[in-house]
């Protein structure tokens, strides 16, 4: 067995330059294949092996084929979604998965994703949900009382082949949403037209795409290579001054800076000097996260050499940041100790827990439309 850190470093090199970096002779290919799957970048390893005229392990070939097949299913479902929402006059965008795989990674097989993320105006969430249900998508949530209690920013649906997350806001929970200045109608107003295969759609502009990735990845721990590669690709394509202005206007500059910093440490600085330092308004917060990252990596945690508990706590003010740190640490600790929290069985985010029925569903949709959870 090779050293875990060396395996991780080899995978980083593959993802950074997939067609030009030969794999080290002593790398354990089985470990590398498993690590690439866990970081959702198997397609990059496929490209590197093909460029080196090396055969693909059967496990890797199957993983890669599954990623491509899933992408094609998502595009078929997206065509149905587009037809239903456009016919209903719904303003919508598609974000993340197929957009990143096709337009940013430039290879549907390079980036794995699990679902199809859409964003609609909160005032039209009920109409959008009805339109998709009319197109054979069924909502997967039975816990409308739980969704109301925490102001969930999305409704999950399924057509039997693809999971659709119908977002009315890009931040999932009301308690997180209040700290930022992200307004869905403003994002929709800046959306740009794109083509994904044969599907005509809209997505966020590049600056909002960067903002969304930084927020989403920070709350998810920003630990996976696929997340940090996404951020690095988009950050490399935008103007630094414009990005800093947009991130600050949304109140996410310090949150984003830590994610950007991790991406730059893995894949190289974006432009002259540190992009993360140009964005951050609290340099002490950025420094603190760098120190925590170094301490975490010291024991040799090679599979995921970044901690996840602190990165999502950055806010525009120190007071808000300290409060968010306390919440993040409590969530991480309670999860590890199997204490009850929002993601526990029967908790607010347990979709399978039946609570509220149609009455609470209608109340939830009305709460969203009235802006009771923020817009």
pLDDT at 327: 87
pLDDT band for position 1 (cuts 50, 70, 90): very low
Query: Quick check: 231 and 267 in contact, CB under 8 A?
Result: no
Contacts of 149 (CB under 8 A, 6+ apart): 348
pLDDT at 243: 98
* Whether residue 230 sits in one domain with residue 141: no
What span, in angstroms and rounded, lies between the C-alpha atoms of 262 and 289? 10
* Whether residue 316 sits in one domain with residue 194: no
pLDDT at 335: 77
Tokens of 289: 């996260």
C-alpha to C-alpha distances, 300 to 79, 126, 276, 304, 305, nearest whole angstrom: 45, 49, 25, 9, 8
Query: Quick check: 324 and 179 in contact, CB under 8 A?
Result: yes
How many domains are contained in the chain?
Answer: 3
Nearest CA to 141 among 309, 363, 355? 355
Phi, psi of 298 (to 5 degrees): -55, -40
Cβ-based neighbour number of residue 83 at 10 Å: 13
Beta bridge partners of 192: 203
Ranges of beta strands (E only) in the chain are: 92-95, 116-120, 138-139, 154-158, 163-167, 192-196, 199-203
53: left (phi over 0), alpha (psi -120 to 50) or beta: left
CATH (domain of 121):
3.30.460
* Whether residue 323 sits in one domain with residue 220: yes
Q: Is residue 222 part of a domain?
A: yes
* Whether residue 88 sits in one domain with residue 169: yes
Cβ-based neighbour number of residue 319 at 10 Å: 9
Q: Is residue 367 part of a domain?
A: yes
Q: Is residue 64 part of a domain?
A: no
- Counting Cα atoms < 13 Å in the Cβ hemisphere of 234 gives 27
Of 296 and 331, the one with more pLDDT = 296
Looking at the chain, the whole-number percentage of residues with pLDDT higher than 70 is: 98
* Whether residue 288 sits in one domain with residue 219: yes
Give the orientation angle of helix 206-219 with respect to helix 240-249, to 10 degrees.
60
DSSP conformation class of 374: -
Q: Tell me which residue range forms the domain holding 190.
A: 71-203+353-375
Question: Mean pLDDT, the chain, as a whole number?
Answer: 93
* pTM listed for this prediction: 0.95
Write the pLDDT tens digit of every residue in 107-142.
Answer: 999 999 999 999 999 999 999 999 999 999 999 999
Q: Which residue is listed with tokens 């927020």?
A: 215
Write the pLDDT tens digit of every residue in 192-237.
Answer: 999 999 999 999 999 999 999 999 999 999 999 999 999 999 999 9
What span, in angstroms and rounded, lies between the C-alpha atoms of 257 and 74? 31
Q: Is residue 346 part of a domain?
A: no
Tokens of 301: 């945690």
Q: Is residue 348 part of a domain?
A: no
* Whether residue 196 sits in one domain with residue 218: no
* Whether residue 212 sits in one domain with residue 116: no
* Whether residue 334 sits in one domain with residue 272: yes
Tokens of 270: 């974006």
pLDDT at 302: 60
* Whether residue 231 sits in one domain with residue 170: no
What span, in angstroms and rounded, lies between the C-alpha atoms of 375 and 373? 7
What span, in angstroms and rounded, lies between the C-alpha atoms of 349 and 373? 16
Q: Is residue 359 part of a domain?
A: yes
Q: Is residue 61 part of a domain?
A: no
Q: Is residue 65 part of a domain?
A: no
Contacts of 341 (CB under 8 A, 6+ apart): 330, 331, 334, 335, 347
Q: What is the DSSP string of 93-140?
A: EEESHHHIIIIISS-TTTS---SEEEEE-GGGHHHHHHHHHTTT-EE-
* Whether residue 274 sits in one domain with residue 216: yes
What span, in angstroms and rounded, lies between the C-alpha atoms of 88 and 246? 31
* Whether residue 75 sits in one domain with residue 39: no
What span, in angstroms and rounded, lies between the C-alpha atoms of 148 and 373? 9
* Whether residue 127 sits in one domain with residue 112: yes
């Amino acid at each position: 067995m090779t050293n875990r850190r060396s395996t991780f470093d080899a995978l980083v090199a593959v993802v950074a330059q997939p067609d030009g970096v030969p794999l080290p002779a002593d790398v354990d290919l089985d470990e590398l294949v498993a690590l690439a799957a866990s970081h959702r970048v198997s397609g990059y390893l496929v490209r590197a092996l093909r460029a080196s005229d090396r055969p693909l392990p059967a496990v890797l070939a199957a993983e890669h084929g599954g990623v491509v097949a899933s992408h094609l299913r998502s595009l078929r479902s997206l065509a149905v979604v587009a037809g239903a929402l456009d016919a209903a006059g719904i303003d919508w965008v598609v974000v993340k998965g197929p957009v990143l795989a096709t337009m940013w990674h430039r290879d549907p097989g390079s980036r794995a994703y699990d679902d199809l993320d859409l964003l609609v105006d909160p005032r039209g969430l009920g109409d959008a949900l009805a339109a998709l249900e009319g197109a054979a998508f069924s909502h997967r949530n039975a816990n409308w009382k739980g969704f109301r209690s925490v102001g969930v920013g999305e409704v999950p649906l399924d057509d039997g082949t693809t999971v659709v997350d119908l977002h009315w806001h890009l931040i999932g929970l009301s308690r997180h949403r209040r700290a930022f200045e992200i307004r869905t109608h403003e994002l929709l107003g800046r959306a740009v037209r794109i083509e994904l295969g044969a599907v005509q759609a809209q997505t966020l502009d590049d600056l909002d795409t960067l903002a969304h990735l930084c927020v989403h990845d920070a709350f998810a721990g920003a630990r996976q290579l696929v997340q940090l590669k996404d951020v690095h690709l988009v950050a490399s394509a935008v103007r630094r001054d414009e990005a800093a202005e947009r991130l600050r206007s949304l109140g996410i500059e310090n949150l984003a800076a830590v994610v950007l910093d991790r991406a730059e440490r893995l894949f190289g600085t974006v432009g002259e000097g540190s992009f993360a330092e140009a964005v951050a308004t609290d340099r002490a917060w950025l420094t603190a996260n760098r120190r925590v990252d170094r301490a975490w990596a010291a024991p040799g945690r090679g599979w995921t050499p970044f901690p996840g508990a602190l990165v999502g706590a950055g806010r525009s003010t120190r007071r808000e940041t300290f409060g968010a740190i306390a919440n993040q640490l409590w969530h991480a600790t309670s999860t590890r100790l199997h204490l009850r929290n929002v993601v526990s069985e029967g908790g607010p985010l347990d979709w399978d827990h039946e609570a509220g029925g149609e009455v609470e569903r209608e109340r939830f949709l009305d709460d969203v439309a009235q802006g009771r959870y923020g817009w």
